Structure 1
């Protein structure tokens, strides 16, 4: 009888392990080789107009910083979008350009967790780490430093808000797969605005907690669709726009631009200034699949959000915008294209990340600091210095 009970317990434990393992790995399904969807050609489509914005005077300290991260965005991903939009992107407004060395503390090829932690803290760490150093000790994020100084802060992402890149700006955990623990840091932090997917990590948790209710108790407006989110006029906002990741383009529709505009509207009400991180997450997702149309559509969506940030910064004149990537994905190269039709033909060398340096684009006061080759950690250090956070 005891033997039978032991077998039953063993199978029950295995069942629970499988359930929890599936839950914890669901955010990473886009990396699975079985989901590879190689498509070499983007046939082309309609173009959108690109506005021109004059560069503000250099050598002036910014009051606000908008950091925009195109996850997996290397130069080929940028140029695929430029080709697909008839030869122009909003990124062409950025005249100060550099390159970021992306290696992590333990590997030549970084992952998003280590890459984003370097951008948020100025410290290189091991692949998989979220806001901790190589010894797994918490490192202070720029977002936390900004809050301490009285600036308003925000995160916007087309992935789950608990995914590696946005998580690296708010959480301190030793594994990027600890999604429930990452969500807890949104409660302990004083962030003003966050918009992205990941609702289930706030409301369908293993510990039974309802973090959305806790957010409401702290004064947040907790909303679930972009139509309601963009109507918010003031106050703290938690926008949970999907159970896990948001849908890829074009199924996602207009989400990133209105989310960025809403965050800017709310954060800019603080006279002391703000820090906002906006991530175009799914450039990376599509590149992991070697899906050229997916890469192009996500790149164009991200560039439209860049256009929204530029419109704000050109009017505000006290805002620095930095656009970069945590790493390149896919080893993407362009074999052919057509500016007239928007056709893009690409090949890939990998289903994973590559170690190539990624571009940095900067616009606004302080933008002259972001030229030439630099370590990814220098981007964080320079942002902190410009906002006088250290």
Structure 2
């Protein structure tokens, strides 16, 4: 009897080990994925933790687009220099797979350049694009195309765009191209490097040329200040332009100002930006469902504000937003995926792993 019991226990232990290994490997090895996407749309809600995502459920007049996902994971966000990351280190981890220091833009710990997914895919004739509600040279979008020691080097970051292989970008930051301390005219450089330039409004028709859209001196206006549907519309425009490339595309979209609402401890600011980002996710998912060969990934770089939705004065039928800090927190942040290869993004993994998961498709 003892021998029989030991045999059963051993068999159970072996089965458990196999299950654990499969679970661990699922999401880290491309062999577990039977389908690979032609296109990737990566949407980053800057500062968006789980409570910010929850706001999309409780403050949305429409059904939230987050409910359209079935594959969900969690990301650990720490930088190499600090337990709590900033946007630059986190975006660099996503863009290059390198764990680096806070403030780093596309560089390793030793400040040498790390090749970004945008640079790598451009060499494979894959179209690339960037859309943000911040300046286009702000930390998150900058980490996908520039290589500088610190995130505040906006003029140096801007210099990387004219000669880049990026096919479409839209956001703010005009002043870093035409009102520079070195008096360089980067707008002319964009044009001479094959870009159509738009500085007044989102165009409705685009040529086959590369597209540079700079619609604000620095960051775009808040939703509360009348920005309107810039983010969903620019995302739709980017998809229309990039999808003409037969070899596929990679598009980064950032809902930049969720973070700014968190830093300000301004719930109205944060929630309206979150709902705008939610609407933009819908644009990406709608395209992906029609296209059938597009992977949509939604995540954040970190959480900002220690944002919470709690009971108001003990009334469990009424919620009130609150904050615990004006800075970032170290809470795990969610990642959602839908499309070919989406199971790769289940589980809990480090922010650097996102790069390798995306690159496993190429």
The TM-score range, normalised by the shorter chain, is: 0.7 to 0.9
1:233 CA drift (Å): 4.8
**Aligned counterparts of 2:96 and 2:270: Cα–Cα separation in 1:** 28
How high is the TM-score relative to the length of structure 1?
0.81
Deviation per CA, 1:86-113: give whole Å up to 9, x if none: 5831111110000000000110000000
Query: 5 Å matches for 1:185-334?
Result: 185-228=160-203, 230-251=204-225, 252-334=227-309
1:235 CA drift (Å): 2.2
Deviation per CA, 1:295-332: give whole Å up to 9, x if none: 11000000111000011100111100100000000011
Contact 1:233/1:265 (CA < 8 Å) preserved in 2? Answer: no
How high is the TM-score relative to the length of structure 2?
0.87
**Aligned counterparts of 2:357 and 2:238: Cα–Cα separation in 1:** 23
Contact 2:85/2:102 (CA < 8 Å) preserved in 1? Answer: yes
**Aligned counterparts of 2:202 and 2:223: Cα–Cα separation in 1:** 17
1:313–1:108 CA distance, 2 compared to 1 (3 A): same
Provide runs of 4+ in structure 1 moved above 6 Å.
Answer: none
Query: 5 Å matches for 1:109-188?
Result: 109-188=84-163
**Aligned counterparts of 1:310 and 1:127: Cα–Cα separation in 2:** 32
Q: Does the residue aligned with 1:383 lie in a helix, a strand or coil?
A: helix
Between the two proteins, the alignment pairs up a number of residues equal to: 325
1:144–1:227 CA distance, 2 compared to 1 (3 A): closer
**Aligned counterparts of 2:114 and 2:349: Cα–Cα separation in 1:** 21
Q: Does the residue aligned with 1:215 lie in a helix, a strand or coil?
A: helix
User: In the alignment, what sits opposite 1:108?
Assistant: 83
Deviation per CA, 1:112-166: give whole Å up to 9, x if none: 0001000100111000000000110100000000101110000000000000000
User: In the alignment, what sits opposite 2:6?
Assistant: none
**Aligned counterparts of 1:239 and 1:336: Cα–Cα separation in 2:** 43
1:218 CA drift (Å): 1.5
1:189 CA drift (Å): 1.2
What RMSD in Å do the two structures reach over aligned CA positions? 1.4
Q: Does the residue aligned with 2:246 lie in a helix, a strand or coil?
A: coil
Contact 2:163/2:193 (CA < 8 Å) preserved in 1? Answer: no
2:72 is the counterpart of 1:97: yes
Q: Does the residue aligned with 1:239 lie in a helix, a strand or coil?
A: strand
1:216–1:87 CA distance, 2 compared to 1 (3 A): closer
**Aligned counterparts of 1:103 and 1:297: Cα–Cα separation in 2:** 27
Contact 1:224/1:239 (CA < 8 Å) preserved in 2? Answer: yes
**Aligned counterparts of 1:97 and 1:87: Cα–Cα separation in 2:** 21
Q: Does the residue aligned with 2:161 lie in a helix, a strand or coil?
A: helix
Deviation per CA, 1:30-71: give whole Å up to 9, x if none: xxxxxxxxxxxxxxxxxxxxxxxxxxxx73100110000000
**Aligned counterparts of 2:197 and 2:133: Cα–Cα separation in 1:** 17
1:347 CA drift (Å): 1.2
1:346 CA drift (Å): 1.2
2:360 is the counterpart of 1:378: no
**Aligned counterparts of 2:318 and 2:229: Cα–Cα separation in 1:** 23
| Structure 1 gaps, min length 5 | 1-57
